[in-house]
Amino acid sequence: MKKILFISYDGMTDPLGQSQVIAYLEGLRKYGYDISILSFEKKEKLKKLGEFIGAKLKEAGIHWHPLRFHSSPPIFSKWWDMRLMKKKASALHKKENFDLIHCRSYIAADIGLDLKRKTGAKLVFDMRGFWADEKADGGRWNKKNFFWNRVYKYYKKKEKELITESHHIIALTNAAKREIEGWSYYDKKVPIAVIPCCADAILFSLTDEKQKIEARQRIKLSQNSLVLGYLGSVGTWYMLDEMLEFFSRLLQQWPDAIFLFITNSEENSILEKLSTHRLYKKNIRIINVNYSEVPLYMKASDVSISFIRPVYSKKASSPVKIGETMCMGIPLITNDIGDCGEIVKNCNAGVVTNDFTPSSYDKIISEIKCLQQLDKASIRHKALNYYSLEHGIEKYADVYNSLLSIG
């Protein structure tokens, strides 16, 4: 049985860890791989969900090695986490002699590259996006600052090494693949697989009228209100001001409309912006629930909205919320980042805009009734061609098999 070490700086107790790591690895385990996970877990989430996640992984036959995620002091904590990751990965490899190291994003891949050079194990760089450019585009790494410019350059250099030395690269979007193929140092002999953030189509099932009614009853919403849904975080990339301004104009046509947020972000990060957009708390609902409960509430929505900043790094972005929303058959209002615009148009799943102006908002609002009449089953059926978890698992298995000469 071939042995795999999956390294992630994201936690398995995080929602993305559950939807975008565990779900895949459970499927890959069924292909006969012996899988170990090395991850970093936030203290409170580990305390709350650690036992549940541990039992889930044990039942799936996956070995989990959680380490404690540190957030302070700001610089030293990251250095310390990297040191712990490197030490633990080396110890695990010495014991298990892994055939393949699968690394989620750049920090994990930094450790994986070191292991590959020392041991000759196959390396899969699952890049998840243009991480260094995301940090710069999001303002976290100000390139005008000497220190952060050095950090940015370090990871851009590391990105080049990973693109050059990995045995297989995984990107989230075709747009990212095209971008990488245009880089002067990219070697065409290194294959790139495109595997978007897939959705759990069983959990995020097609919305029927009964479920919609039950969801609204759960939140105490009128069955007659127009509900604009939003799924996910609201910080950094997510254009909260623009979405609130859109909703403000929506209220002019639909006075009883409700903006429903299903989010783990702090309530105040939303509420403090309401007055700026002439909004009141009575028109807003903010729900914070566990990942498994998200569809129970999101199905109250008539239409969903997602505006993400259209910066360079977002060419490589595949928001999981897009696939999850489409699997529920909920029409989307979104902008064109990564492959999202093309997918939404191909699936006739909503409206795509890159114009964040009042006139553009009004045009979209005039199409709301048409969006409500879109065929929900058709949206889901077409979405599964892109976002099916089973397809994603098959693609990962193809990568593993090609590197380990299986099949």
Domain residue ranges of the chain, discontinuous segments joined by +: 3-198+388-404, 209-387
pLDDT computed for residue 71 by the predictor: 86
The answer to whether 223 and 347 are in contact (CB under 8 A) is: no
For the stretch 177-218, pLDDT in tens is 999 999 999 999 999 999 999 998 999 999 999 999 999 999
The answer to whether 261 and 270 are in contact (CB under 8 A) is: yes
For the stretch 287-330, pLDDT in tens is 999 888 999 999 999 999 999 999 999 999 999 999 999 999 99
Report how far apart, in Å, the C-alpha atoms of 242 and of each of 245, 248, 262, 333 are: 5, 10, 18, 12
The answer to whether 32 and 62 are in contact (CB under 8 A) is: no
Is 16's pLDDT higher than 90? Answer: no
Is 407's pLDDT higher than 70? Answer: no
For the structural domain made of 209-387, what CATH number should be given?
3.40.50.2000
Once rounded to an integer, what is the mean pLDDT over residues 262-280? 94
For the stretch 144-169, pLDDT in tens is 999 999 999 999 999 999 999 999 99
The partner residues of 169 in beta bridges, in order of sequence, read 125, 192
Q: Mean of the per-residue pLDDT values for the chain?
A: 95
Sheet holding 192-194, edge to edge: 63-68, 34-41, 3-8, 100-104, 122-126, 168-171, 192-194
| Fold equal for 3-198+388-404 and 209-387 | yes
Q: Name every residue whose Cβ is closer than 8 Å to that of residue 209 and which is 6 or more positions away in sequence.
A: none
Q: Minimal CA–CA distance to 407: which of 193, 399, 27?
A: 399
The answer to whether 223 and 311 are in contact (CB under 8 A) is: no
Burial class (CB in 10 A: 0-12, 13-18, 19+), 284: middle
Distance CA 2, CA 158 (A): 28
Residue with tokens 């759960």: 218
Distance CA 246, CA 364 (A): 9
389: enclosing H helix or E strand: helix 389-404
For the stretch 41-67, pLDDT in tens is 999 999 999 999 999 999 999 999 999
Residue with tokens 């989230």: 172
Domain at 3-198+388-404, CATH from 2.60.120.380, 3.40.1440.10, 3.40.50.2000, 3.40.50.300: 3.40.50.2000
Once rounded to an integer, what is the mean pLDDT over residues 390-394? 94
Q: Output phi, psi for 272, to 5 deg.
A: -70, -15
Q: Minimal CA–CA distance to 105: which of 197, 13, 188, 182?
A: 197
The answer to whether 79 and 50 are in contact (CB under 8 A) is: no
Share of the chain above pLDDT 70, in %: 100
pTM greater than the 0.95 cutoff: no
Task: State whether residue 104 is helix, strand or coil.
Answer: strand
Distance CA 24, CA 43 (A): 24
pLDDT computed for residue 406 by the predictor: 64
Once rounded to an integer, what is the mean pLDDT over residues 216-233? 95
Report how far apart, in Å, the C-alpha atoms of 295 and of each of 21, 330, 394 are: 19, 11, 25
Is 249's pLDDT higher than 60? Answer: yes
Is 109's pLDDT higher than 70? Answer: yes
Please compute, for residue 309, the number of CA atoms within 13 A of its CA located in the half-sphere on the CB side: 16
The partner residues of 154 in beta bridges, in order of sequence, read none
Q: Name every residue whose Cβ is closer than 8 Å to that of residue 266 and which is 6 or more positions away in sequence.
A: none
Binned at pLDDT 50, 70 and 90, residue 78 comes out as confident
DSSP state of 197: -
